[in-house]
Chains A and B, each alone.
Chain A
């Protein structure tokens, strides 16, 4: 004990003071400030998103059009990787040494502790072998996902495809999508995205500081399950679809078949198509570019995007609307001297025949241009109103048949077609004193008119129904309860009373079933098919062949339009295709002579084009110097006067 004994208390005081400071700080951290508790929970919990299976799409008979196939992504956590047999791994997943190094570097740059994708979409076949050896590769994991799979490789443009979301998709979805998600980009995949995608689930996983999963949080109390996307039942008949695609092989064009009583689309072919499986898997990027630069434009959805001057099918609409307007009736006869003279007799619109007196039924049966020249003249010039107004009334009646406006099919990208307004002609001729002679080609569906194959088929459905249609659609049932969208259950009246249809249908029937008719060669025994060949004029090259029909006459089951581009006369190519499809659908057999069938299957009607951007696209095809100039989306604007001159 010495004189500085009292300092003991000071030192003890310092000890106590420091202990109190520490205690006070702990009091604040543990009892006052709650933010640390929240941080601790955030630290530990990671929300892992569970991806739902995308909805399956079936055909009308329940057969699978699109399903999900498991694929396997190989993930790597670089920090956990130990010495491994690089050569073996490379061989198993089909990459080379340099590719291995590149992938490792990418993964390491992303994060040494977090798993990132090493190789994506390893097919199940390669996975089986990889899995056997996986235990040798520490730090590598396999995560399974599903990708789309198309068992029949059919209906590509109808089904569409999915792709990874881009920034715009993410922004528009208000954060629903995250980078790496897939979204329907075209076709049904896009139109029904919200139903197909299903609902994501969340799993709360506890992780450590290196983000390594350590187990399920609270026995999964806060987890939500992923809900698979809705199953869609399409209206498509797979058999007819596959047959139609086969028939349209090596031809450019479309087939659209509709069940008239429901508006359900039975076949939807855009040719040339592509194998939808190309848009899946590791080669997707390359395949996509190839399709994009393919001169035959396989990504172009012709049934709803290609627009053609409709040709003969329009006479059906003319006949019906003129009757409804009271300008002709079933007894009206016009004399056909082999052409319709107009413009004071200076111009002529020729027929392929000289039939003399022609009745309404015969005009349809024989496809008489003269008859419809007169009819159009009456509709525009003789209605006791200015021709612009008469044209307006005419146009309105035509539009009721679905021409010049989109039909509202459940696919993105449908085109309206083209049906100019009266103002268009007033502007073109500088005044409103124009008359039927100024755009007479409209009377027979040529000139400034663009109709999509879907619209053509729909016109046939209207005729088959004698006056109405249901909006054509591709999905007839959604989910387990097979819900139909209300807009597709609604009857749309085409503006012409039922009684006016009989002569037109009679004419269509005769065109097929009476010797000498344009469709006689493709008639079907036991089935009264009503139809007609048509020729859609193509100012750029050979005309497009069209055949449209419905069958049977009473209680029709199918209405369809077949367009084969650059095929010339409709009866040769489009007719047999339509006939075979109708017979197959109605009787499940084809009786058309084998040689005609063979001719169709074997025909290569692809125009010879120079492959401009990519050499490899059609490697086997002989290259020709004729440039590609017949894109169907270019509507044929043909000045009617120059046409008239040509016809003289």
Chain B
């Protein structure tokens, strides 16, 4: 950050492989959106009134946006980050007042015929500001004060997004723990603990709290027996047991009193506590039928019956992966997952080759967001995580989502293309 960055027009330094992956995902998205809304009676590819017609415009404009980003001085992104963050917060407040209510969430600001979703841009703003803040402290040993300030940078927009209420988008911000972990603010055991907390949360809701406590008790009991000579470990296990029990009870409380009823419903459905194929479980059931019926090779482009006849709601946005699964089968799904995984691993590698902490932290933030969206979106279509409405980056229909992820990614590529210019 202290090194002056020289503006260098993008050239061979741009990571073309990542650009290629990005372009692939956009194209896969376009074809599947086309399939999802395809009307056999009314074909025609460039009809701007249809979702795929609009998506072509979005992709084209995203491309221009990407080029523009690569042209702009890299330093600009760092310096503008506090202002951008502030504007985003204002927009998040504004959306609560003037926003359009779509699907129960007050998340959209209508601008002409398009709708702007500030929560998508909040990801970018938060990522930039967090990178700037943490990079300013990157030479010191990680301390609690920095962690708390960093967490505050994240939690502020999270709180505003929660008010819309758009739980899905809000949860995505928590993916930034990877950033804190990488930068040493969170230790391995804490990450483990966090994982355990999520596991216990799910288990508690899936089974009864008493069953979970019983199982923990038995495990701790076995541990005590195994380490019966070591008093200290036994004491630790006892503390762990008490903490876990308290946590399990608090989960029950949060579940009953904090979560909204539709979220409770979705969690219940995925945990198999409610079985109503026409109600909350309908989306999930139809989604799994679509994907499952794809078999190995898929039904072929525009041949998916589930897709064509609108059995899956929100198919071009949150449930776009159904189309992939149905029409392109296991093979196509693996290709998409493979591209994502390659992209994610590539971003991490790019992050690690950055010379500035700012660029590295920012890149980790990008990876975190992409990973969260990828895992949760696909996970929900195949029934392994609760249905929370978040898009599949670059593939789902929607301008705000495509633009914000594209900006997110290409700012990183800009940093990357500049890395050699940094002394």
Contacts and interface: CB of A to CB of B under 8 A. Distances in A.
A25 B384 contact: yes
B343 to A, nearest CB: 10
B293 A31 contact: no
B330 A31 contact: yes
A468 to B, nearest CB: 67
A383 B397 CA distance: 105
Interface string B363-382: 01001000100010011001
B288 to A, nearest CB: 6
Contacts of A4: 182-184
Nearest to A213: B309
B195 to A, nearest CB: 9
Number of chain B interface residues as a range? 35 or more
A106 interface: no
A128 interface: no
B295 A31 contact: yes
A31 to B, nearest CB: 6
A12 B345 CA distance: 6
Nearest to B39: A214
Q: Which of B138, B182, B309, B378 has the most CB of A within 10 A?
A: B309
Contacts of A43: 286, 289, 305-306, 309, 311
B344 interface: yes
A26 B295 contact: no
B138 A2 contact: yes
Nearest to A44: B305
B1 to A, nearest CB: 14
Interface in A361-397: none
Contacts of B22: none
A1 interface: yes
Number of chain A interface residues as a range? 35 or more
Contacts of B182: 4, 7-8, 11
A106 to B, nearest CB: 21
Interface string B303-333: 0011011111100000000000110011001
A396 to B, nearest CB: 69
A118 to B, nearest CB: 25
B352 A3 contact: no
A4 to B, nearest CB: 4
Nearest to B311: A209
Interface stretch (A16-24, A268-276, A524-532, A546-554): A16-24
Interface stretch (B70-78, B149-157, B334-342): B334-342
Interface string A34-45: 011101110110
B220 interface: no
Contacts of A202: none
A39 B309 contact: no
Nearest to A210: B310
A22 B310 contact: no
A33 B341 CA distance: 25
Nearest to A30: B330
Contacts of A33: 292
Interface string A249-293: 000000000000000000000000000000000000000000000
Contacts of B178: 11, 14
Nearest to B184: A4
A209 B286 contact: yes
B158 interface: no
Contacts of B341: 15-16, 19
Contacts of B310: 208-210
A214 B308 contact: yes
Contacts of A1: 352
Contacts of B305: 40-41, 43-44, 206
Contact of B330 (A16, A26, A40): A26
A125 to B, nearest CB: 34
B278 to A, nearest CB: 11
Contacts of A37: 292-293, 295
B337 A19 contact: yes
A29 interface: yes
Contacts of A22: 337, 375, 378-379, 382, 384
A17 to B, nearest CB: 10
Contacts of A40: 289-290, 292-293, 305-306, 326
A39 B293 contact: yes
Q: Which of A1, A23, A36, A210 has the most CB of B within 10 A?
A: A36
A135 interface: no
B170 to A, nearest CB: 20
A8 B360 CA distance: 11
Contact of A30 (B292, B344, B367): B292
A207 interface: yes
Q: Which of B310, B313, B357 has the most CB of A within 10 A?
A: B310
Given A43-B311, A44-B309, A35 B348 contact: no
B29 interface: no
Given A1-B352, A7-B181, A30-B329, A208 B311 contact: yes
Interface in B364-418: 364, 367, 371, 375, 378-379, 382-384
A333 to B, nearest CB: 91
A15 B289 contact: no
B348 A8 contact: yes
A44 B345 contact: no
B348 A30 contact: no
Nearest to A40: B293
Contacts of A35: 292
Given A4-B184, A209-B310, A209-B311, 17 more contacts: A4-B183, A7-B181, A7-B184, A11-B182, A15-B344, A15-B367, A22-B337, A22-B375, A22-B384, A26-B330, A26-B337, A26-B382, A30-B330, A31-B295, A43-B286, A44-B306, A214-B40
Interface of A: 1-5, 7-8, 10-12, 14-16, 18-19, 21-23, 25-27, 29-31, 33, 35-37, 39-41, 43-44, 206-210, 214-215
Interface of B: 40, 138, 178, 181-184, 188, 286, 288-296, 305-306, 308-313, 325-326, 329-330, 333-334, 337, 340-341, 344-345, 348, 351-352, 357, 364, 367, 371, 375, 378-379, 382-384
19 contacts: A2-B357, A5-B352, A7-B182, A8-B351, A8-B352, A22-B382, A22-B384, A29-B291, A29-B325, A29-B382, A30-B291, A30-B330, A31-B296, A36-B292, A39-B293, A40-B290, A44-B305, A44-B306, A209-B312
Which are the 9 A-B pairs with shortest beta-carbon distances? A36-B292, A208-B309, A40-B293, A44-B305, A209-B311, A29-B292, A30-B330, A39-B289, A4-B184
